Amino acid sequence: MLRKIHSLPGLVAALLVAIVGITGAVLSADPVIERMGTSIPAHLSVAELAGRVRAHYPEAEQIQRTPSGAVVVYFQTGSGAGADQVDPASGSRIGPYAPSGFLRWIKQLHRSLLLDTAGRAVAGITAIAMLVLCVSGILLLVKRIGGWRALARPLHGSRSQRWHAEVGRIAVIGLLVSAVTGTYMSAATFGFVSDGMQNEPDFPSTVSGGPAAPVERLAALAATDLADLRELVFPEPGDTAALYTLRTARGDGYVDPSTGVLLAFRPHGGVRDVYELIYRLHTGEGLWWFGLILGLCALTSPWMAATGATVWWQRRRARPRIAGNSPVRSAEILILVGSENNSTWGFARVLHDALRQAGRRVHTVAMNEVSFEDNPARLVFVLTATYGDGGAPSSADQFLARLSRCPPNPETRYAVLGFGDSQFGQFCQFAKDVDAAFREHGCRRALGLVTINRQSSQEFARWGVAVGDLLGVPLTLEHTPAHPRTFPLGLQERIDYGREAAEPTVVLRFVAAPAGHGKRHRLPHFEAGDLVGIIPPGSAMPRFYSLASGSRNGILEICVRKHPGGVCSTYLHGLKVGDRIDAFIQPNPQFRPASGKSPVILVGAGTGIGPLAGFIRNNTGKYPMYLYWGGRDPESDFLYEPELKNYLADARLTQLHTAFSRVDNGVRVQTRLTEDADNMRKLIGNGGQILVCGSSAMARSVRMALDEILAPLNLDVQTLRTTGRYREDVF
């Protein structure tokens, strides 16, 4: 529901929001320009200003002070009315005061879309739509990343999703202020709320009628500071009953030109003060610096509209299309799908098609739409993602309640496959909740709960083998999520380790491949810790490798161990210098050191050193960085040994702790952490962060060791993970 609340106003009002945002950004520059051309003297009274102006403009009729501080005098000459901006320090002319016709047009477009009253109504509705978008967008983002405390956490998803959310969380406060103030001002325009405006003060019943004193000697004007002035209207010459009209930030009244007494003063009410504050916040007039910030935020409106529409279209295009879906009453197998962005449906469709080809009658449906009444299926597969901090995705947020109201037959067997991101503390939590709910209703597991990290095609294929064994049929599940277009790379250098070993390792350094005519393709942007996807010949599924370099290094570098029977690792180990491959980048922003000077603790084993070496390489600020790494034999696979020694020498690496299992009596990297426990506690106590890269078994052992090390600090890995100070990239 929340997503629909966010999407509908965005789609309907996208163009209007973009127009209002662009025009608002243009208008925000006007107070800045006006403020730059204005000198504001300190402690100048209105009486002094009026006297100086009168000396240069004997026919002055009115003095106005704009919210930005510019002083404008309106006067009459023989040729007609005129208006000049004046220097308040001298009262002399700076130049003609002529507001830009272009800015007037922009202002009308912003306020009413050039359609007068109807346009003002549409602009007000647009402000309301922007308010709904801001609030729902914040709530969606908080839900997606797992709570308010994770609001600064790196984002994941498609490129459009990341950019939409990244820009949104930067600009949302400014957009929210503009939306709230714009909605209030629109409501005041149409009388739904009061703007606090009041009628002119009652004209005094008696005036002194004496000869006019010099304006600079009038007490009421001398007691009014220029900073409070809004407008001073001079009395008509020769009219003994005429008075000065004085409008200030505090209220309005009249000044007797003979005695200088303030008459019939009417102070502004609280409602008027609130409206004027809201007006200043919205326009930046009088708060030029704040208006400039709002203008920069408003400039993001077209971007947010475009990326939001792109995300909506991508989600719509990815909506499930299940061919040959058997009627639920005749199905022998039920596939239930829980998805937030429709990506899980791709895996469900592959399973559905494979089971149909195996001769089974299958019904696939969203979890929220299933009914177990009169359903003959006794085998249920649940494929579900987890949303945010352990919550249900949108297509499954009613499932557990429906399951309680109408539980399945206790003879039903089930298997749950969870999709998630192990960087989140509640990894695949909803899948675990669904598994527990089926067991509570007496159902039997057909397969144990399996979780898949980052939509791994390889893990899905392995689960498919288990499903095939369960059904007694060979089952091949190959699903390749959509990925970006590939780009060509040429192998520039390879460094081999343990060439004679059963599982040698190689560091491969690629550059952009030649494009012909002496030119080269360009490397796309990537950072150390991002992933490169490579599809080996004869396979439809990409393999992902963590990058040991950033694009600014001019190379794309990976560290690859050759696995027996490994299709892609065998392919990469067979490359020769000059060979060309095609690849694509999958950003991995959640796995990289946070900015700042806090200590960084890097933990890895085997080829997990790749991205860690990249972080060290790019530590040009030489902040504290500690590496704990485990290998097998220093003679054959001390990966990056020369580079690490250089990094120690130039202080990009503070300390290096190694563990070689074949020469150190089986010592693993977690042992090195335990041996250095006092230093680890000190580093963590100083705000240190931990990044772990390597096998899932190694990462599990490291987490256990760290929990013991951190116990005296009343900390554990889960706490560090929640605050973004513990990050993993495991395989």
| Average pLDDT score over residue span 171-187 | 91
Geometric angle at alpha carbon 540, from 537 and 542, rounded to 5°: 85
* Residues shown for the chain: 731
Reduced to 3 states (helix: H, G, I; strand: E, B; else coil), residue 201 is coil
- Using the Cα atoms of residue 715, residue 717, residue 722 and residue 727 in order, give the sign of their dihedral: positive
pLDDT digits (tens, 9 = 90+) for 299-357: 888 888 888 888 877 777 666 678 888 888 889 999 999 987 778 998 999 999 999 99
Of the ranges 140-154, 279-293, 304-318, which one carries the lowest mean pLDDT score? Answer: 140-154
d(CA 162, CA 194): 41
Burial letters for 398-423: b for 16+ Cβ neighbours within 10 Å, e otherwise? Answer: ebbebbeeebbeeebbbbbbbbbebb
Which distant-in-sequence residues (6+ apart) come within 8 Å of 487 by Cβ?
A: 512, 521, 523, 524, 582, 583, 584
pLDDT at residue 156, as a whole number: 63
Q: Name residue 571's amino acid.
A: Y
Token duo for residue 422 = 């192990």
- Per-residue CA distances from 504 to 562, 570, 678, 697 (Å): 6, 10, 35, 20
pLDDT at residue 526, as a whole number: 93
Reduced to 3 states (helix: H, G, I; strand: E, B; else coil), residue 695 is coil
What is the CB-side half-sphere exposure of residue 554 using CA atoms within 13 A?
A: 3
Alpha helix (H) residue ranges in 199-300: 219-222, 270-283, 288-298
pLDDT at residue 32, as a whole number: 80
Count CB neighbours of 161 within 10 A.
19
Architecture field, domain 487-586:
Beta Barrel (2.40)
DSSP 187: H
| Average pLDDT score over residue span 203-226 | 89
Do the first three CATH levels of 487-586 and 600-730 match, i.e. the same topology?
A: no
d(CA 124, CA 187): 7
For domain 318-471, give the fold: Rossmann fold (3.40.50)
pLDDT at residue 64, as a whole number: 94
Architecture field, domain 600-730:
3-Layer(aba) Sandwich (3.40)
Of residues 179 and 162, more confidently modeled: 179
Token duo for residue 679 = 């230093």
Classify the phi-psi angles of 116: left when phi > 0, otherwise alpha if psi is within -120 to 50, otherwise beta: left
Whether the per-residue pLDDT at 38 is higher than 80: the answer is no
Whether the per-residue pLDDT at 416 is higher than 90: the answer is yes
Average pLDDT, the chain: 88
Q: Name residue 57's amino acid.
A: Y
User: Residue 597 in contact with residue 532, Cβ under 8 Å?
Assistant: no
* Strand pairing category for 531-534 and 580-586: antiparallel
d(CA 21, CA 29): 13
Token duo for residue 486 = 């590939």
Q: Would you list the domain boundaries of the chain?
A: 2-35+103-196+275-312, 40-88+199-267, 318-471, 487-586, 600-730
Of the ranges 39-43, 610-614, 645-649, which one carries the lowest mean pLDDT score? Answer: 39-43
User: Residue 338 in contact with residue 396, Cβ under 8 Å?
Assistant: yes
* Strand pairing category for 251-255 and 244-248: antiparallel
DSSP 663: T
User: Residue 302 in contact with residue 24, Cβ under 8 Å?
Assistant: no
d(CA 491, CA 512): 9
